[in-house]
Amino acid sequence: MELSLFNQSGLWFLLRWIHLFAGVTWIGLLYYFNFVQVEYFKEADGGAKSDAIQKLVPRALWWFRWGAMLTFLSGAALLHIKQLTGLGIMIGAVLGTLMFLNVWLIIWPNQKIVIASARQIAAGGEAIVEAGAALGKAGLASRTNTLFSLPMLFFMASSVHLPGVQASIASAGLLTLVLIFGLIAVLQLNGIFGKTGPMTSVKGVLHGSVLLTAILYVLAELH
């Protein structure tokens, strides 16, 4: 008797389970960094902050970046296997891909500089000159990922439940696509070259994320 887990639908479910598990790990740590660690660092004394940067942050970042990697790879596999082309799933996939790239190309490289600087100071050396700028770049990319996280989760979850976002990319109007993906592109560019703006506070980034979700949903429904 063939076990159901090893047939085609069972393997698809296993891949989806891996995607969900990795996503929970990744997004959970994203929220930890932005809602817990950043706020703690604002109040911690220098010694405690330095110790956390040297010992706690690297461990958390390991799970964070590899959670992002596994989420991205399993998600890409699901899109390919299931041939998913709905507007909603594409919005979620684009946001998720940008978040993944932000982790590996901006947040992690810059956090490595910050960690190395903290360890150098603890060993009696001088701070790395670029550490301050690196911390700012990593922080802005992390806030951008937090901004993207709610609409990403919304469209991933709703793509098979809300009729308005189930239409294929091919059937969506050009203006709709330009408005949706143009807005996402502008926000991503700000996450690379711009400023934190209202995302400086936890309340600001949460409000911005809810607003972005609402705007993207209205645009998707009106296509």
User: Considering the domain boundaries, does residue 30 fall inside one?
Assistant: yes
Map 150-211 to HEC letters.
HHHHHHHHHCCCCHHHCCEHHHCCHHHHHHHHHHHHHHHHHHHHCCCHHHHCHHHHHHHHHH
Does any domain span residue 48? yes
Measured between alpha carbons, how far is 147 from 130 in angstroms, rounded to an integer? 26
The tokens of 158 are what? 């709703």
| Joined tokens for residue 191 | 């996450």
List pLDDT tens digits, range 87-100: 999 999 999 999 99
Among 61, 92, 212, 219, CA closest to 144: 212
Our count of domains for the chain comes to 1
Domain hosting 156: range is 8-221
Which burial class, exposed, middle or buried, applies to 100 when counting CB atoms under 10 A from its CB (0-12, 13-18, 19+)?
Answer: buried
- Inside any domain, residue 2: no
Residue 3 lies in a domain: no
pTM of the model as a whole: 0.94
Amino acid at 87: L
Task: Determine the pLDDT at residue 91.
Answer: 94
Contact predicate 220/180, CB 8 Å: yes
**pLDDT tens, position by position, 3-37:** 666 677 778 888 999 999 999 999 999 999 999 99
Note the Cα 179 to chain centre separation in Å.
21
Backbone angles phi, psi at 86, to 5 degrees: -65, 150
In a domain, 118, yes or no: yes
Q: pLDDT under 50 in the chain at which residues?
A: 1
Question: Residue 39: inside a domain, yes or no?
Answer: yes
What is the reported pLDDT for 1?
45
- 1 occurs within a structural domain: no
User: Quick check: is 129 in a domain?
Assistant: yes
